[in-house]
């Protein structure tokens, strides 16, 4: 498996990251451990979890899995979503971050977390307070690098500016949503990551299952996340996405690839992406995901796939600037 550096950290990771959201939920303990061992056999050394996944059970199972190989793997976890009924058991305040990291360390049975994500933006907490709390955790050795998920580009850039001005630990890894039908990250987040040399582990490469080949206009989902979870229903309920999916599946069949493998390979082809996060509920799904690394995606096929989905509009109209700087070396 190809190895890649995470931004400027000097840490090498596999070009696929295994997300353990299903551990203790859709995948029982035995299945979770079988999938973990399969990923290790495939050369994956990067594992992503969160304190909120299966009410902490995901971290517990992952902690058991890594007990005999802790120094060989890279772990990321998250803080931010509510983890209890107490009014302060959520967000990115210093108080909650300090409490949450201790719980994650205990469940993971480890003394440090390589990448610690702020899971979502907290509008009620000053960004500098969040950044300072993460800097303190890094100095204590409880986390090695701060990271951020589900923040907009301006929020991330503001945090990077505070870190630089105050000489605090900065975000080194971001985790945006990115797949063939959800390409918004191309507008500002991926250019930001490239410019600031941030690592990127993108989530939902299969569009919540939309790009696996199971669904089309005639075979709409009747159960599962795309129906049962409101956020997924809102995220992937657009009819145009099913048109894109049908065209993508046809393309995958023409080239002889499983749609799930090809969808992940398309994300992996983007040079800014460090590693797509793959997830699964069972070994069969995981095998299809891992096969993405076997696909030698040509530029021609990459462009063909890209062209069947809508390219998101630029944040501003740069057409005039592009004309002015054509042929100018920057």
Residues assigned a catalytic role:
53
Threshold 0.85, pTM exceeds: yes
For residue 192, give the nearest of 174, 168, 178 by alpha carbon. Answer: 174
**For residue 118, what pLDDT band results from cuts at 50, 70 and 90?**
very high
What contacts 124, CB < 8 A, 6 or more positions away?
91, 93
- Return the number of other C-beta atoms located less than 10 Å from residue 77's C-beta: 31
Q: Could you tell me which CATH class the domain 3-175 is placed in?
A: alpha beta
Report pLDDT for 193: 98
Quick: pLDDT tens for 70-101. 999 999 999 999 999 999 999 999 999 999 99
Domain boundaries, the chain: 3-175
Q: What's the pLDDT score for residue 94?
A: 98
Phi and psi dihedrals of 277, rounded to 5? -90, 120
Residue 174 scores a pLDDT above 50: yes
Is the Cβ–Cβ distance between 20 and 47 less than 8 Å? yes
**DSSP letter string, 140-194:** HTSEEEEEEES--HHHHHHHHHHHHHHT-----EEE-B-BTTB-GGGTTHHHHHH
Grade residue 214 by pLDDT with cuts at 50, 70 and 90.
confident
| Alpha carbon distances (Å) from 15 to 80, 181, 232, 268, 316 | 26, 21, 26, 8, 32
**pLDDT surpassing 70 at residue 330:** no
For residues 209 and 235, what is the distance between their CA atoms, to the nearest angstrom? 12
Q: How confident is the model at residue 236 (pLDDT cuts 50, 70, 90)?
A: confident
130 vs 96: CA distance, rounded Å? 10
Cβ count near 288 (within 10 Å): 21
Task: Give the pLDDT confidence score for residue 239 in this predicted structure.
Answer: 79
Reply yes or no on whether the pLDDT at 222 is more than 70: no
pLDDT value at 218 more than 80: no
3-state class of 261 per DSSP?
helix
pLDDT band for position 2 (50/70/90)? confident
Q: 3-state DSSP call for residue 225?
A: helix
């Amino acid at each position: 498996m190809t190895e890649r550096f995470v931004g400027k950290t000097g840490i090498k990771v596999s070009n696929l990251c295994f997300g353990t959201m299903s551990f203790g939920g859709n995948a029982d303990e035995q299945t979770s451990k079988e999938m973990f061992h399969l990923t290790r056999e495939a050369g994956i050394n990067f594992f992503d979890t969160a304190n909120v996944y299966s009410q902490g059970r995901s971290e517990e199972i992952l902690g058991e899995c890594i007990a005999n190989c802790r120094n060989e793997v890279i772990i990321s976890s998250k803080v931010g979503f509510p983890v209890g009924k107490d009014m302060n058991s959520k967000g990115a305040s210093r108080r909650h971050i300090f409490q949450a990291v201790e719980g994650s360390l205990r469940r993971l049975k480890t003394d440090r977390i390589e990448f610690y994500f702020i899971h979502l933006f907290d509008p009620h907490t000053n960004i500098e307070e969040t950044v300072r709390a993460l800097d303190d955790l890094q100095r204590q050795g409880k986390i090695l690098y701060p990271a951020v998920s589900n923040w907009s580009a301006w929020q991330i850039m503001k945090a990077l500016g505070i870190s630089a001005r105050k000489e605090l630990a900065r975000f080194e890894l971001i985790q945006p949503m990115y797949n063939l039908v959800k390409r918004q990250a191309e507008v500002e987040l991926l250019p930001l990551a490239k410019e600031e040399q941030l690592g990127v582990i993108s989530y939902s490469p299969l569009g919540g299952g939309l790009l696996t080949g199971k669904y089309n206009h005639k075979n709409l989902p009747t159960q599962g996340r795309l129906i049962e979870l409101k956020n997924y229903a809102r995220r992937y309920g657009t009819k145009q996405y099913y048109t894109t999916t049908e065209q993508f599946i046809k393309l995958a069949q023409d080239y002889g690839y499983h749609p799930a493998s090809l969808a992940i390979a398309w994300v992996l082809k983007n040079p800014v992406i460090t590693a797509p996060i793959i997830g699964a509920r069972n070994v069969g799904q995981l095998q299809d995901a891992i096969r993405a690394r076997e696909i030698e995606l040509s530029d021609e096929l990459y462009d063909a796939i890209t062209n069947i989905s809508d390219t998101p509009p630029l944040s501003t109209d740069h057409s005039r600037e592009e004309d002015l700087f054509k042929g100018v070396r920057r």
